[in-house]
Amino acid sequence: MARAFLSLGSNRGDRRSTLEAALRALEVAGDVRIIRRSSLYETAPVGKADQPEFYNLVIEVQTALDPGELLDRCQEVERAFGRVRQERWGPRTLDLDLLLYDRRAVHTERLTVPHPEMLRRRFVLEPLLEIAPDAALPDGTPVVAHLAGLTGQAVRRLGQP
Choose among 120, 125, 116, 127: nearest CA to 143: 125
Choose among 120, 122, 123, 51: nearest CA to 86: 51
Q: Which amino acid would we find at residue 47?
A: G
Is 97 designated active site? yes
Catalytic-labelled residue, pool 83, 85, 134, 156: 83
Catalytic-labelled residue, pool 15, 37, 73, 97: 97
Is 83 designated active site? yes
**CA-to-CA distance for 73 and 79, rounded, in angstroms?**
10
User: What residues does 113 pair with on adjacent strands?
Assistant: 106
Is 122 designated active site? no
Catalytic-labelled residue, pool 15, 73, 92, 121: 92
Is 66 designated active site? no
Catalytic-labelled residue, pool 15, 95, 121, 122: 95
Known catalytic residues are: 83, 92, 95, 97
